[in-house]
Chains A and B, each alone.
Chain A
């Protein structure tokens, strides 16, 4: 007897718990409903894989109680018959700022003095853009107007968080119901969020993309230190939060395809796999994106067409823009096709209401409906670790579902109701009368008329009235049981006739109306006796129409690598090549060989000689009358970068240019056309200790990681003089230390002194045995001092921007006194005054051929500088620091012949072998010798002649620039352009919105260029 009793008590208990447990007092009488709803005879899409027909969904107290074809309905259930209709799980938007405070930039004027420290008072991180302590559930304020917009689109819940800063805090999963916030939160502390954007922070750091990466990395190392030891030294709520957030799914907002790769690299360093919010262009680098292993959150933001009606103005639209316009809708399909798990979001849409049109477009362009549904239901639920609550219509889940007229993805689908947490939100009335068909309209005193109602669905109908042979366009409103018709009968009866009536039986309406003259008449309307099938006919016509249009409009052009007009249709491949009978500038003992052959195999120079045999399959290139040299190496370049200066602090040794290599920069190609094969991408010169260089080969088409030269020595940029002391930055910038050359010295003294102590700390720790280590506390990892310690250990090498003799002398003294070497002075325009000191120190000089006069510190520059330094035994190279000039570094080298009479072979080495030496790459490049990289340029004339130009530029045995293929390339571009332009014209004619084309200002970096805010 005991057992049943117990069971009975439990049952009672359950029932009691099922009542809403409200803690809120109520002004008035409590109104808690039973909350039992059943939907019968529906087609129910339980999840993207499972659809039940003729099924029932039972909802109890905001949760799904049961779903299936045989659901027993409890007494007291409100039953709705959904015959012919469908139920889907409500959609989830996984990247939303719903209910979050607006993010406003703190700093609106660049004229204001720099803000060096955080403005956020309290025990937080030193950098204001790192705010992992932000908690979306604390910030969340429901906003029914915004919720309603999303509800109408079929969304039931969103993951929302403040989109502000590099570390943005934790997100909260909320429903879009209209209720107290307490009831809406499905999951607080759902996710951790990161980005590259400093957001509202007005603090100077970070001021660049690579600065953003560095600040985040240091914060993660600091969090680790805080966990181990730091918490005993200080209270830091930010670091505490960073550690706490480590267990949450981590989302990273990347700003473009390259940002995805960058974000993933940070994750790899700290053992995190981020879920990455993309910007919709990842189809352009889908292989690399897939290789990250990241799940993606994909927006559906498609650009408008451009107004290309004026042919000249239209040329301001780039090929990349034209192609992206066409290909952006293929993005989601490409992501799905690559097998990358992804969710879709409404983020980045200019108008949220574009969501459905764009989603359908994405489906039209290759995204399957099933993948689309997954991306809006099960995938986001899983990524949020909330699949126990939302995403499918299984028993026990939150009752978030939508009722539709048909297939959710069909263009004529209508969302009737969006149920959230068991409460309905009406989007469109679902029991609207279906008027479609042929009607006979009889109005007293008029001859009978035919009313033709057509349309794809009952909700979207068109009306046509025929009075004898006159076509009249009536206005018809059907509202529940009533109907109202307005029309103008014509000349015989000028004015508007208005009829109002009600439904009578299954096939009729009756009522009274008023003629234009005020006379009241009775009227009636009946379904025509012969029921044609306008529906079927219409939809057939429609379908075939769509199919035809679809077939032509979904055909798209091919990708380009990189995704710019001058990109490659196919990535170039390495070849076996024999270049015959050329004048070969070896840069070796042999000097210049006449009528020599060079064999290239496996990306290397295999043989240099005469009468070489071509291996089978080799491409033979006739070099008669031409000159073959090793590729030009630019010691000082800022091309192929997304930003150049993290000029915020006096030292930013922690930033890495490798984080911002831009493989899509057209300057790579332009410089290939000038014979450049490798470049040192330097940080700018805005601070005394800049960032770490990226060494690249100009492999046009490859992704950033493939451009980097493997195993190259690490370099770093230092800078002296006017830029460092902000001499030409205007009056606002008189705050940051240093403001004089006196201060510059002290920056070095200070940082290297600290770096020494830091290195000693680690050395001591590393010497401990494992037992001692267990009891000791490892020092705090400092990614800035790490790099300076590398310099002291002769493992990282300095390229120092410098102009005047005083500062050059100063740095040589600082280096000597602290025990490090300056590998290269770059610019070094007064090197001729201190060349003997440079030579003694072992420093090289990388200079301009003839730049001067643009600022005070270059006043004493002379074009004989290179020759004079060379004479003193300094290894001299001629560099560009300028994307334009790098296209003709051969001419700049030739100027050393003019100014100072350098022998031609030596002049040539100044842009090839010497920079290779300065970059420690001369073991693999810089000369033509068997075994070296096949980085070669075939010139049409003497390479130092003003009349010379490269005919082929080869890197690692692959032809990346071929003058003879240029015409064909241009022709192909013209054809593709013309096709896209015609398509855009058609789109405009078809009513698509357009943007006016305008030229783009190219961002070309020099040393002293500052970045836009990130």
Chain B
């Protein structure tokens, strides 16, 4: 008997296959009397949020607002919390399934210069990782290519959809550059050892990049080019400001150098990713308005003598310095469901309050990725990509996501649909 029970339970909660996407929104939905975390720092303790055809129409204080609820599906979320969908930038969810099984990994192309490679087309909506992140409130990810110096372009994906076309929120939002730094880590797979060495090829690599960017800029100045160069073609958006340049750099000098390089080459929007030593250049980043996407806070200090909690304190340090900060679980696809807890950790270690930390996984990220017009906050006109949690979503004791809503429509489509996935979460073992 016992055994049967366990299997049934396991099937219910751990069923590995990605469920079918949500159905379109049939009528307006009102979530009543919940605590609404707007995502911009604001909290409405007893609020109402209404959305129709996948778009938020009303966000108001339920104790004062007078609303006509006729024809709406009214759901009471009293005592519960409503959040904008959390956004996990710099992610390989959908591109990587089982780390050790090569056949399931599509995140890294061969070659050094691959601006024309697109993560979008490899994104697997049937990844079994996706339900796990959704269940903790992570509703958007940035599918990011890795490897080489210029890895390719990323796209912003909703964690719901039949295929990448209807899952995509913003296609090709930016290009990814791994900055040739002062030091290079050489990993030896045969003995699992890592050696950090001075990067002897740094200057050479930067010179090559400079040439490429100069060529790309010149190329971009003409609308039609013949012969057509796919690589340079793919870089046009950097100079028009349509695309971000995401630069991976951690060492403080590298951060400075990379940001200066991008500006000098005419790149309109540069974002530093990783930024593990951003505290040393916080003034520069704030003054130059260079935003950062931090690598996972759940990492070790980089140096043996560093304060043991420095990685945890990094968001707070940057916040206080006026840097626009986003948190990520960079590259660690299967840990992405822990993104809200990164924000929680940041609160425990110096970010001024929970709403500020929430911004780092919602509105700040949306702003950096260029999707703030659609997602990142719970405001009228924005997508109804949101979730309801039984309690504080940043703390694992209370992060219990009961309902998830997506505005599920491909940007190219004129039909606006919306979906509702009611997440079956087991709140106690006795259920």
* Interface residue? A891 (CB, 8 A): yes
A1010 to B99, CA, bound (A): 18
A856 to B98, CA, bound (A): 6
A945 to B348, CA, bound (A): 9
A566 to B129, CA, bound (A): 39
Cβ distance B155 to chain A, nearest Cβ, rounded Å: 21
| Known A836-B6, A948-B348, A1010-B192: A998·B198 in contact at CB below 8 Å | yes
A853 to B308, CA, bound (A): 28
- The chain B residue with its CB closest to the CB of A865 is B14
Question: Is there an interface contact between B185 and A669, defined as CB atoms closer than 8 Å?
Answer: no
Selected from B6, B190, B303, B341, the residue in CB contact (under 8 A) with A315 is B303
| Known A854-B98, A1001-B195: A947·B308 in contact at CB below 8 Å | no
Question: Is there an interface contact between B191 and A110, defined as CB atoms closer than 8 Å?
Answer: yes
* Interface residue? A318 (CB, 8 A): yes
Residues on A with C-beta less than 8 A from B394 are 946
* Interface residue? A382 (CB, 8 A): no
Selected from B128, B300, B308, B395, the residue in CB contact (under 8 A) with A1002 is B300
Q: Which of A175-183, A899-907, A916-924 contacts B (4 or more CB under 8 A)?
A: A899-907
Cβ distance A453 to chain B, nearest Cβ, rounded Å: 47
List which A125-183 residues lie within 8 A (CB) of chain B. none
Question: Is there an interface contact between A999 and B304, defined as CB atoms closer than 8 Å?
Answer: no
Selected from B13, B189, B308, B428, the residue in CB contact (under 8 A) with A862 is B13
List which A927-950 residues lie within 8 A (CB) of chain B. 941, 944-949
* Interface residue? A897 (CB, 8 A): yes
Residues on A with C-beta less than 8 A from B372 are none
Question: Is there an interface contact between B300 and A722, defined as CB atoms closer than 8 Å?
Answer: no
Selected from B14, B188, B395, B429, the residue in CB contact (under 8 A) with A901 is B429
A747 to B324, CA, bound (A): 56
Residues on B with C-beta less than 8 A from A856 are 98, 100-101
Q: Which of B51-59, B229-237, B239-247, B396-404 contacts A (4 or more CB under 8 A)?
A: B396-404
- The chain B residue with its CB closest to the CB of A1004 is B300
* Interface residue? A521 (CB, 8 A): no
Cβ distance A847 to chain B, nearest Cβ, rounded Å: 14
Residues on A with C-beta less than 8 A from B348 are 941, 945-949
* Interface residue? B69 (CB, 8 A): no
Question: Is there an interface contact between A566 and B305, defined as CB atoms closer than 8 Å?
Answer: yes
* Interface residue? A885 (CB, 8 A): yes
Q: Give the size range of A's interface with the partner.
A: 35 or more
Q: Mark B336-369, 1 if CB is under 8 A from A, else 0.
A: 0110010011011100000000000000000000
| Known A312-B253, A565-B305: A850·B2 in contact at CB below 8 Å | no
* Interface residue? A531 (CB, 8 A): no
Q: Mark A1001-1013, 1 if CB is under 8 A from B, else 0.
A: 1111000111111
Residues on A with C-beta less than 8 A from B101 are 855-856
Q: Mark A836-880, 1 if CB is under 8 A from B, else 0.
A: 100000000000001111111001101010011001100000000
Residues on A with C-beta less than 8 A from B345 are 888, 891, 946
* Interface residue? B26 (CB, 8 A): no
* Interface residue? A111 (CB, 8 A): yes
* Interface residue? A258 (CB, 8 A): no
Residues on A with C-beta less than 8 A from B9 are 864, 868
- The chain A residue with its CB closest to the CB of B96 is A853
Residues on B with C-beta less than 8 A from A902 are 429
Question: Is there an interface contact between A884 and B190, defined as CB atoms closer than 8 Å?
Answer: no
| Known A836-B3, A854-B100: A947·B304 in contact at CB below 8 Å | no
Residues on A with C-beta less than 8 A from B344 are 946-947
* Interface residue? A13 (CB, 8 A): no
A615 to B259, CA, bound (A): 61
Question: Is there an interface contact between A673 and B334, defined as CB atoms closer than 8 Å?
Answer: no
* Interface residue? B218 (CB, 8 A): no
Question: Is there an interface contact between B183 and A998, defined as CB atoms closer than 8 Å?
Answer: yes
Question: Is there an interface contact between A864 and B10, defined as CB atoms closer than 8 Å?
Answer: yes
Question: Is there an interface contact between A864 and B280, defined as CB atoms closer than 8 Å?
Answer: no
Residues on B with C-beta less than 8 A from A1001 are 185, 193-196
Residues on B with C-beta less than 8 A from A727 are 100
* Interface residue? B307 (CB, 8 A): yes
Chain A facing B: main interface SS: loop
Q: Mark A983-999, 1 if CB is under 8 A from B, else 0.
A: 00000000000001011
Residues on B with C-beta less than 8 A from A106 are none
Question: Is there an interface contact between A1000 and B196, defined as CB atoms closer than 8 Å?
Answer: yes
Q: Mark B287-324, 1 if CB is under 8 A from A, else 0.
A: 00000000000111111110111000000000000000
A888 to B303, CA, bound (A): 19
A1002 to B302, CA, bound (A): 8
A947 to B348, CA, bound (A): 4
- The chain B residue with its CB closest to the CB of A732 is B190
A998 to B199, CA, bound (A): 10
Residues on A with C-beta less than 8 A from B129 are 853
* Interface residue? A757 (CB, 8 A): no
Cβ distance A313 to chain B, nearest Cβ, rounded Å: 8
- The chain B residue with its CB closest to the CB of A870 is B429
List which B179-205 residues lie within 8 A (CB) of chain A. 182-183, 185, 188-198
| Known A835-B6, A852-B334, A999-B196: A670·B308 in contact at CB below 8 Å | yes
Residues on B with C-beta less than 8 A from A947 are 344, 347-348, 395
- The chain A residue with its CB closest to the CB of B127 is A853
Residues on B with C-beta less than 8 A from A1008 are 192
- The chain B residue with its CB closest to the CB of A894 is B396
List which B60-76 residues lie within 8 A (CB) of chain A. none
Residues on A with C-beta less than 8 A from B13 are 862, 864, 899
Question: Is there an interface contact between B97 and A853, defined as CB atoms closer than 8 Å?
Answer: yes
Selected from A318, A728, A835, A850, the residue in CB contact (under 8 A) with B304 is A318
A856 to B100, CA, bound (A): 7
A790 to B193, CA, bound (A): 34
* Interface residue? A120 (CB, 8 A): no
* Interface residue? A815 (CB, 8 A): no
Question: Is there an interface contact between B347 and A884, defined as CB atoms closer than 8 Å?
Answer: no
Selected from A862, A948, A970, the residue in CB contact (under 8 A) with B307 is A970
Residues on A with C-beta less than 8 A from B97 are 853
Residues on A with C-beta less than 8 A from B163 are none
A973 to B305, CA, bound (A): 9
A313 to B99, CA, bound (A): 34
Residues on B with C-beta less than 8 A from A889 are none
Q: Mark B1-43, 1 if CB is under 8 A from A, else 0.
A: 0110011011001101000000000000000000000000000
Residues on B with C-beta less than 8 A from A792 are none
A833 to B394, CA, bound (A): 30
Question: Is there an interface contact between B305 and A885, defined as CB atoms closer than 8 Å?
Answer: no
A32 to B43, CA, bound (A): 105
| Known A900-B429, A947-B347, A998-B196: A673·B191 in contact at CB below 8 Å | no
Most buried by B among A730, A904, A999, A1010: A999
- The chain B residue with its CB closest to the CB of A892 is B396
* Interface residue? B211 (CB, 8 A): no
Question: Is there an interface contact between A946 and B347, defined as CB atoms closer than 8 Å?
Answer: yes
Selected from A313, A318, A855, A1009, the residue in CB contact (under 8 A) with B98 is A855
Residues on A with C-beta less than 8 A from B309 are 673, 949
Question: Is there an interface contact between A832 and B100, defined as CB atoms closer than 8 Å?
Answer: no
Residues on A with C-beta less than 8 A from B176 are none
A833 to B243, CA, bound (A): 48
Cβ distance A845 to chain B, nearest Cβ, rounded Å: 13
* Interface residue? A320 (CB, 8 A): yes
Question: Is there an interface contact between B2 and A872, defined as CB atoms closer than 8 Å?
Answer: yes
12 A-B pairs in the complex with CB atoms less than 8 angstroms apart: A564-B305, A566-B305, A853-B97, A853-B334, A864-B9, A868-B6, A888-B345, A894-B395, A897-B396, A946-B345, A1001-B195, A1011-B191
Given contacts A856-B101, A864-B426, A894-B396, 10 further A-B contacts (CB under 8 A): A320-B304, A730-B190, A850-B335, A851-B334, A884-B300, A898-B397, A946-B348, A946-B397, A999-B303, A1011-B191
Closest 4 CB pairs of A and B: A946-B344, A565-B305, A862-B14, A110-B190
Interface residues of B (CB under 8 A from A): 2-3, 6-7, 9-10, 13-14, 16, 97-101, 128-129, 182-183, 185, 188-198, 252-253, 280, 298-305, 307-309, 333-335, 337-338, 341, 344-345, 347-349, 394-397, 399-400, 426-430
